[in-house]
A and B are shown apart, each in its own frame.
Chain A
Amino acid sequence: MSESTPWFLGNDPGHVRAVVADADRMSKIISRARRILTVLGPEISDDGAMLSVVRAIPSSSLVASPRTRPLMAVASGVKPDVYMNVLEVMDRLRDPDWQGFDGKGAYDLVIFLGMDYYYASQMFSLMKHFGRGVGTVSLGRHYQPNARYSFSNLVPATWHAQMQRLAGLLRGEE
């Protein structure tokens, strides 16, 4: 199977699919963005790799699923600006008049982490078609065809290593 085969094989939306990116490319994409919204889904865990990447992303706004609040309370260096259901976040992102959670203007990149595969896929699809051109990045372990950039399908150890490298690159370490 190619590296851009959806993790769930039936989840093939058509020919417009995510570009497969590794940690190095992800780092460049994220570094190029001007205003980043990072969305932490309900499946976010205290996995060191996940949270170290979240800390390293230069997010303009960090929004987390309300369910993650107890975890966020003990995760040092990770302080969401807003707790909000993912669907409600998407509803704002499709609004051309929305000026972001900080009121400073629209975001140009949305990063998803810690979401159930199917749910994330649907939300990426929503952004792909109705997100007004805002870029999307999936940092999950499996290839998400509806995102603009995604990891390929990775085994846990490789994904973990990629996340650690991404965190390092975003922190300016080589």
Chain B
Amino acid sequence: MSAARIKADEVVTSFGRIRGLEIKVGKVLVEEWEEVCGPTPAPGPLDLREWDRKLLSRYRPMYAPFCDMCCLCTYGKCDLSNGKKGACGLDIESQQGRIILLACCIGASAHGAHARELVERLVEKYGPGHPINLGDKIQVEAPLVRLIHGSKPTTLADLLPPLEYGERQLMDLLSATHTGQEGSYMDFESKSLHISMIDHMFMEIADLAQVVALPYPKGDADAPLVDIGLGCIDPAKPVILAIGHSVLPGAEVIEYLERNGLQEDVEVAGICCTALDLSRYSKATKVIGPLSKQLRFIRMGIADVIIVDEQCVRADVLEEAKKLKTPVIATTAKICYGLQDRTNDPADEIVRDLVQDKAPGALITDEAKAGEVAVRTAIELHKKGHGKKLDAERLSSMAVRCTECEACVRECQSNLDIPKAMARAAEGDFSLFEEFYERCTGCARCESACPQHMPIINMINEGASGRISKEKFKLRAGRGPIQDVEIRKVGAPIVLGEIPGVVAFVGCPNYPGGYKEIGEMARIFLDRRYIVTASGCSAMDLATYADEEGKSLYERYPGDFDGGCLCNVGSCVANAHISGAAIKVASIFAGRRLRGNFEEIADYVLNRVGAVGIAWGAMSQKAASIATGFNRLGIPAIVSSQASKYRRTYVGRQDKNEDWWVYDARDGSRIQTEPAPLHLLYVADSKEDAIVAAAKLCIRPNDTSKGRQIKLTHYVDLHRKYLGSMPEDLHLFVRTQADIPITMKTEILQLLKDRNWEPRKIPDPTLLERLVRGR
């Protein structure tokens, strides 16, 4: 029921006379959900603080500051080195906690604002009563909203109250970063965990809204295979490139093409999560790849029009596009690039100005109009022709100017020997630049630093031109949520350890050793029948890893949520379906109540669900909040050495026995357990370290002996193969002899004997005393 107002000048009742009565009712929630609510519906920053402290006492935050200074207020700069405090009283440790909270708030705000825009636009288009219907196979439609907010959304409009709740939390938590507020690093961390939990709810709201309103796959394991790669674009057709994270403008391009029968005549291509979501919307979409491909593709000069929406879009897209006279259409208030707001101008006038190069682009916040302008402009400009890319001859003549000053190398985080490649290019040989193709993350800091203004990205493109034209792979479109029936099937094997784990490849493309590393890692776990999931830029890069037959991983492995399957959930916001799956295991398989019951479910996941995330190229603030949100739910994340620049890790100490205990829920006894999972946020030294760490971080105290045998088999085998030895900590993970893998029994028994190992009890594990039965 919506708002109501009752007003009476005078009311006579049996208990007296009331004058000037006025009653206002803001909103009435009709309660149709019978599940008993847990202790923390719509929790505030303090409601889960005790859970955070449990986690943080075991996984102690460890900081590696980027900078010794604080530059956030005019008392400063404050130098926080050598134990000094800033003018506000903060020391370096608390300042790092504050920076982490700020990063997590930024990340959550990006998803929250995206969710707000999607929900409002879709309510406007499809009505507030549009049902949240994911089909018969998905009844637990919004596990995070149920768990955190305590509500069960049945329509698009029902997504607004949890969104409002999350926005309020974001405001409170961001305010804690202001000068003169929080002073404890532990409380900054608790707040980071809180807003990152909210971030997962924001992501769920965003993706759920688009999945139910738009013609996306709705949890379909056999979502269509779509084209991905720089070489899958037909340059003979007009090309519209969409960059960012919102499906709305690109969807309007596709609708305009379909309405006008032009869908075969124009290529719609995408970069980053916009591409992933457009491929869910229409399988005709060509996915270029992750955000690292932005400059490369723009410089290729194939795009006739570029549309940008929000998040992870380079700040210099307009500047770059201008060089090739490619118009840019900005479509949201988040990215305007200084362009004139043409939203209320007639489409004819905007198209004319763009085609005649009277303006470098336009801000058009009406997506339908932006779609029309993009298509018409692309068709006209393609006929007319516009800027050309630099050819090999020109690039070679430019390379001669290189003075080998190494300014480029000093900016390159991949440490590429650009001067050497430049010397070869000056002789017309771009082969070294081709070698850089996989390891270059496309940031272009090298170009910015070059005193000779060398177009290094173009040179890499030139070197790799042969392979770029053949770069055509298949990506399975993001399927969205995991089905309840799938959870019923895999719930027991996951919790008992018989499926060795769930490995999620998430995050951005800032890889230390090139993008192929995640493909190699994923294949290892797929072949070992782990459940492998993917999202965002990682989901795209996994598609570019081809096997011996040239098949992409998506062609080789089914898209189910099951052992040995590769399940692409979708764009960044679809990460919520991975945390949602862990929650659903607790709910659907174990029958734990979800509603407002975060702590119990997180305790369940931490102790029983062997899941781990690998964010190998994590770069953004969103990746920080996504990982931290997984961590609060008890799911560890592994990042690469580049991500040590996030400045904070959550690491456990397996040599501290006192850290590793649980209550046995059967009798309340407090018992020693294995260090599992050992870390919550771990920086792997190398790909090999990450592979072994992932297998180890899937071990959970609740594993049955059969499950533990399977997990240890993989841990030992991977350790031997990639690190060249038997794990030295194996004895910590063997509880009884029944845990020992049969094929390794003799060797492991000897190892246990050498370590004075003794058997111990297998608990029904929990960190929450209130969950001990009978209490």
Q: Which of A14, A15, A85, A90 contacts B62 (CB 8 A)?
A: A90
In whole angstroms, how far apart are the Cα atoms of A95 and B655 in the complex?
A: 12
Q: In the assembled complex, which residues on chain A have CB atoms less than 8 Å from the CB atom of B644?
A: 87, 118-119, 122-123
B555 at the binding interface (Cβ < 8 Å): no
* Min CB gap B362→A, angstroms: 34
Interface residues of A in 63-107 (CB under 8 A from B): 65-67, 69-70, 73, 83, 85-88, 90-92, 94-95
Query: Do B689 and A65 touch across chains, with their CB atoms under 8 A apart?
Result: yes
A129 touches which one: B65, B645, B682 (CB < 8 A)? B65
How distant is the Cα of A117 from the Cα of B724 in the complex, in angstroms?
25
Asked if B651 is at the interface (CB within 8 A of a chain A CB), the reply is yes
- Chain B stretch 674-718: residues in CB contact (< 8 A) with chain A: 682-686, 688-689, 692-693
B681 to chain A, nearest CB (A): 10
With A14-B81, A66-B692, A119-B641 known to touch, is A87 a contact of B653 (CB < 8 Å)?
Answer: no
Q: How far is the CB of A79 from chain B (nearest CB, A)?
A: 13
Q: Flag if B653 contacts A70 (CB, 8 Å).
A: no
CA A16 – CA B69 in complex, angstroms?
A: 10
| Chain B: minimal CB distance from A15 (Å) | 7
Convert A104-147 into 0s and 1s, putting 1 for each residue whose CB lies closer than 8 angstroms to a CB of B. 00000000000011110011011011100000000000000000
Q: Which of A8, A12, A16, A42 contacts B685 (CB 8 A)?
A: A42
User: How far apart are the CA atoms of A81 and B63 in the complex, in Å?
Assistant: 26
A7-B410, A42-B689, A87-B649 as given contacts; A116 in contact with B512, CB under 8 Å: yes
Cβ-defined contact, B685 with A85, below 8 A: yes
Q: Is the CB of B67 within 8 A of A14?
A: yes
> Does residue B52 face the partner (Cβ distance < 8 Å to A)?
no
Give chain B residues whose Cβ lies under 8 Å from the Cβ of A129. 63, 65, 68, 81, 92-93
* A15 lies within 8 A of B724 (CB): no
Q: Tell me the bound Cα distance from A86 to B686 in angstroms.
A: 11
* B685 neighbours in A (Cβ, 8 Å): 41-42, 65-67, 85-87
Contact of B724 among A8, A70, A128 (CB under 8 A): A70
- The answer to whether A13 and B68 touch across the interface, beta carbons within 8 angstroms, is yes
Which of B93, B682, B725 is within 8 Å of A130, CB to CB? Answer: B93
For chain B, residues 631 to 688, give those with C-beta under 8 angstroms from any C-beta of chain A: 641-642, 644-645, 647, 649, 651, 653, 655, 682-686, 688
Query: Any chain A CB within 8 A of the CB of B723?
Result: yes
Contact A83 B683 (CB under 8 A): no
| A118 contacts B642, C-beta separation under 8 Å | yes
Q: In this complex, what residue of B is CB-closest to A85?
A: B685
- B64's contact among A7, A15, A41, A125, by CB below 8 Å, is which? A125
Say how far A65's CB is from chain B's closest CB, in angstroms: 5
Give me the interface of A with B, judged by CB distance under 8 Å: 7-10, 12-16, 41-42, 65-67, 69-70, 73, 83, 85-88, 90-92, 94-95, 116-119, 122-123, 125-126, 128-130
Q: Which of A67, A125, A130 contacts B66 (CB 8 A)?
A: A125
B653 touches A85 (CB 8 A): no
Name the B residues within 8 Å of A125 (CB-CB).
64-66
Which residue among B410, B413, B647, B649 has the maximum number of chain A CB atoms within 10 Å of its CB? B410
Asked whether, in the complex, the Cβ of A73 is within 8 Å of the Cβ of B724, the reply is: yes
| Bound-state Cα–Cα, A133 to B16, Å | 76
Would you give the shortest CB distance from A90 to chain B, in whole angstroms?
7
B415 close to chain A: CB less than 8 A: yes
A95–B60 Cα gap in the complex (Å)? 11
Complex Cα distance, B276 from A156, in Å, reads 44
Closest chain-B Cβ to A117's Cβ sits at a distance in Å of: 7
User: Could you mark each residue 34-78 of chain B with 1 if its beta carbon is under 8 Å from any beta carbon of chain A, else 0?
Assistant: 000000000000000000000000001011111111000000000
Query: Would you list which residues of chain B between 394 and 429 have a CB under 8 Å from chain A?
Result: 410-411, 413, 415
B79 interface hit (Cβ, 8 Å) = yes
User: Does B124 make an interface contact (CB < 8 A)?
Assistant: no
User: Cβ of A91 and Cβ of B62 under 8 Å apart?
Assistant: yes
A37 to B92, CA, bound (A): 25
Asked if A118 and B645 make an inter-chain contact with CB atoms under 8 angstroms apart, the answer reads yes
In the assembled complex, the CB of A158 is this many whole angstroms from the nearest CB of chain B, namely 14
Contact B688 A116 (CB under 8 A): no
Indicate whether B82 reaches chain A with its CB closer than 8 angstroms.
yes
Q: Decide yes or no whether B31 CB sits under 8 A from chain A.
A: no
Please indicate the chain B residues that have their CB under 8 angstroms from the CB of A8 in the complex.
410-411, 413
Q: Does B728 contact A (CB under 8 A)?
A: yes
Residues from chain B with a CB closer than 8 A to the CB of A69 are 723-725
Known contacts A15-B81, A122-B644, A9 near B411 by CB under 8 Å: yes
Chain A residues contacting B689 (CB-CB under 8 Å) are 42, 65-67, 85
Q: Is the CB of A118 within 8 A of B641?
A: yes
A42 touches B686 (CB 8 A): yes
User: In the docked arrangement, what's the CA distance between A64 and B166, Å?
Assistant: 45
List the B side residues contacting A87 at CB < 8 Å: 62, 644, 649, 651, 682-683, 685
Given A118-B644, A119-B641, A128-B81, A67:B725 Cβ within 8 A: no
Q: Which of A10, A16, A67, A119 contacts B68 (CB 8 A)?
A: A16
Q: List the A side residues contacting B79 at CB < 8 Å.
A: 14-16
In contact, A122 and B64 (Cβ under 8 angstroms): yes
Kindly report which residue of chain B lies nearest to residue A65, judged by CB atoms: B685
**B692: which A residues are within 8 A, CB to CB?**
66
| Cβ B68 vs Cβ A92 within 8 A | no
The answer to whether A66 and B63 touch across the interface, beta carbons within 8 angstroms, is no
Instruction: Determine if B63 and A130 form an interchain contact, defined as CB atoms under 8 angstroms apart.
Output: yes
B725 lies within 8 A of A91 (CB)? no
CB contacts (< 8 Å) of A95 on chain B: these are 653
How far is the CB of B678 from the nearest CB of chain A, in Å? 9
Q: Which B447-465 residues have C-beta < 8 A from chain A?
A: 449
Residues in B neighbouring A128, C-beta threshold 8 A = 81
CA distance A121 to B69 in the complex (A): 16
User: For B67, what are the chain A residues with a Cβ–Cβ distance below 8 Å?
Assistant: 12-14
Instruction: Kindly provide the distance from the CB of B755 to the nearest chain A CB, expressed in whole angstroms.
Output: 15
